[in-house]
Chains A and B, each alone.
Chain A
Amino acid sequence: MRAFTRTARRAVVLAAVASLGAGLLAGCADDSGDSDSDGSSSGGGKGKTTVTLGLFGTFGFKEAGLYTEYEKLHPNIKIAENVVERNENYYPALLNHLTTNSGLQDVQAVEVGNIAEIVSTQAGKLTDLSKVSGVNKSNWLPWKWEQATAKDGQTVGLGTDIGPMAVCYRKDLFQQAGLPTDRNEVAKLWAGDWNKLVTAGETYKKKAPKGTTFWDSPGGLINAILSSEEKKFYDESGNVIYKTNPAVRSAFNLTAKAAQEGLVGAQTQFQPTWDQTIANTKFAAMACPPWMLGYIKGKSKPDAAGKWDVAVAPKSGNWGGSFLTVPKSAKHAKEAQELVAWLTAPAQQAKLFAVQGSFPSAPSTYTMSEVTSAKNDMTGDTPIGEIFGAAAKQIPVQVIGPKDQIIQQGLTDNGVILVTKGKSPEEAWKTATKTIDNNLDK
């Protein structure tokens, strides 16, 4: 009897160990192997194919009801999304999955800051989307299409949204400081020249309401200037030229000058303290793509509604936006390509803008009512769709490179921000370039 219970107990223990071990192994196992078990596999209802999307941040496809709509159009498809909140956590994992060919979703989103690196290093792992039916190059702004196209003509990603930049400003603060408040007048202050924007800042400072600065942060300014340049950190053949490119140096110097004169807040964008400067109205203007209006709204007190307006920037630039890609090893690559083509088609982009405020990268939408009649709580009656649409068409075809983000972060967080702490522009440039060079060195 005793022997029996012992055996029984041992059997239980063995079973437990075995199942734990199996679980561990299964956890580590390559899960891309069952690509031929389409139809009946992968959850969902009977005979349905589940297409999965790997996204970051808030794309808003689900919120805009696009998944439900697609599932209705294609009754045999089910859509599931897997969202990581921050791109800096999402992107290294995506690279890892791509290089090891495992753990990939059927659709993977890529942020514009990473698209050059994906195109130049991972194009072989991604499918060419230019030949999918329904995809037409002319649907997108030319520069958006180019950004996701490799040298051999393969287009690995289809553009979703873009971030055409304008200047958002507080009408009440501008008025108190003696600046015009009408958006056309304001745009005239600095039309065509970033230096004039800094000059307007100097005017603002003379009569600035107490405790406020003209611009939100040095990072916001240098980003706006650099985004409007055709060449910034790389030349056409992919060489790093940020140190010798006069456009970068002058953007740095202009921002440093603004920082020295106290025209910009001593803030780093998207930090909690920067958020608080929005809530407490500590600055009068900032570079702002359409999605920034949503951000401002999220951080503002209710009484700020309608106090903002949007003026055309000195030069148009792009800030933000994303692409959707389909990896070659996706379980349901064909279905995924069709879904991506549909999600990024002009009609869906317009719907997404209406619900989520993500500005379309398809110029044909700029005349659709969803865009032309768009309004935002923060800016009252301002026809933001028209302003941003016009800006979008003037964005230069910019040469982008794989390490743009690292270089820009260096110039901002290890560079111009130091000027607001009392370092000289020369010292700041030295710290920035030293950091960047170390970070770029393989």
Chain B
Amino acid sequence: MSTRHDIAAPPTEGGAAPGRPAPGTGPTEADRRRRARLSRRWQRDLRWSPYAFVSPFFVLFLAFGLFPLIYTGWASLHQVELTAPTDMTWVGLRNYTRIFDDDFFWNAAKNTLTIGIISTVPQLLMAMGIAHILNYKLRASTFYRVVMLAPYATSIAAASLVFVLLFGRDYGMINWALDQVGIGKVDWQNEKWASQIAVSSIVIWRWTGYNALIYLAAMQAIPQDLYESAALDGASRWQQFLHVTLPSLRPTILFTAVVSTIGASQVFGEPLLFDANKGASGGAEHQFQTLGLYLYEQGWVNQHLGRASAIAWTMFLILIVIGIVNYVISRRLRASS
């Protein structure tokens, strides 16, 4: 820390520095007291105000993050109904053990995984392609970037409702187009894979631009001379992309993969609104019910708060496992590069 001249004690007299003004004009007693007071205040300020500045986050986190987390854990060990949340019956780990043979839970887990893969992989590939194109010198490039980000700024509810209309079985635009090219109509809401692809497409539409912008930012940070020397060595555009761009983007790709994985494990709004009239059951045969949706169904539709809490904690544990796997893979990658 550098010395604050307005508060620090004056330097001692003498030394090589020019002398101070005549003693008659030196600090009076009152002046010194004022300075001492100020100094104490500044010290207190320095010591405590950082805590004050970070405290809003921690207070909010305690109230809306940690407390619910712990309370959910407590509730998951009980049989609790929404109609009487204070009336808890201790059931131990039953809410967890029953998950092992709860077909609906594992069905939802599988759906979450498949929807996660169908939505994340194409999303990141497309984002990479779009970022690569936007990285060229383009006219009105800001315009394109804003357009890319527009879906991200749209509300999930509005987007999902529009997609439901597009994917309508009898009067939807997508089926109309499929019919025109002779493929025939697809029952987007009721067939397993069709419905999962449809839900994934909402996710892809919403997040591709966001990831593209992240890639674009990382691409622009790659030094131009790398490309120049590659070009001098006779590398084609494609080889440049493969051997210069991709390796430089590795940490960014990892980041987007982690964020998308977390996002995919929490997919909720899109499947909920994709068939709003079936409530949170995710289709007649639960064909696109994700874990988030199942949790919501148990808690708010069926009103079993204890079971819902146990599902929430199980999801949390699964996420931790995924996080560890991600960490291990990223370490391997870093070690190999």
- Residues in chain A within 8 A of chain B (CB atoms): 2-3, 17, 20-21, 88, 92, 95-96, 99-100, 117, 121-122, 268-273, 276-277, 402, 406, 409, 413-414, 417-418, 421, 431, 434-435, 438-442
Contact = CB atoms under 8 A, between A and B. Distances in A.
Interface stretch (B11-19, B300-308, B327-335): B300-308
B82 A442 contact: no
Contact of A414 (B85, B165, B187, B285): B285
Contacts of B38: 3
A438 B284 contact: no
B182 interface: no
A273 B168 contact: yes
Contacts of A276: 168, 170-171
Interface stretch (B113-121, B151-159, B274-282, B315-323): B274-282
Interface string B38-69: 10000000000000100010000000000000
Nearest to A2: B6
Contacts, number: 87
Given A92-B82, A438-B104, A272 B165 contact: yes
A17 B275 CA distance: 43
Contacts of A92: 82, 300, 303
A2 B38 CA distance: 12
Contacts of B277: 268-271, 413
- Chain A, interface SS category: helix
Interface in B162-202: 164-165, 168-171, 187, 190
B306 A442 contact: yes
A273 B284 contact: no
B252 interface: no
13 contacts: A2-B6, A88-B279, A92-B300, A99-B83, A271-B276, A273-B168, A276-B171, A413-B281, A414-B284, A431-B284, A434-B103, A438-B104, A442-B81
A271 to B, nearest CB: 5
A315 B171 CA distance: 35
Given A17-B56, A435-B281, A442-B306, A95 B170 contact: no
A121 B56 contact: no
Contact of B84 (A21, A88, A121, A270): A121
Given A276-B171, A406-B302, A442-B307, A413 B86 contact: no
Nearest to A120: B83
A438 B187 CA distance: 27
B225 interface: no
B233 interface: no
B326 interface: no
A409 B52 CA distance: 52
Contacts of A3: 6, 38
Contact of B168 (A99, A272, A441): A272
Contacts of B102: 438
B72 interface: no
Nearest to B105: A438
A272 B84 contact: no
Contacts of A273: 168-171
A2 B82 CA distance: 58
Given A273-B168, A273-B171, A417-B284, A95 B302 contact: no
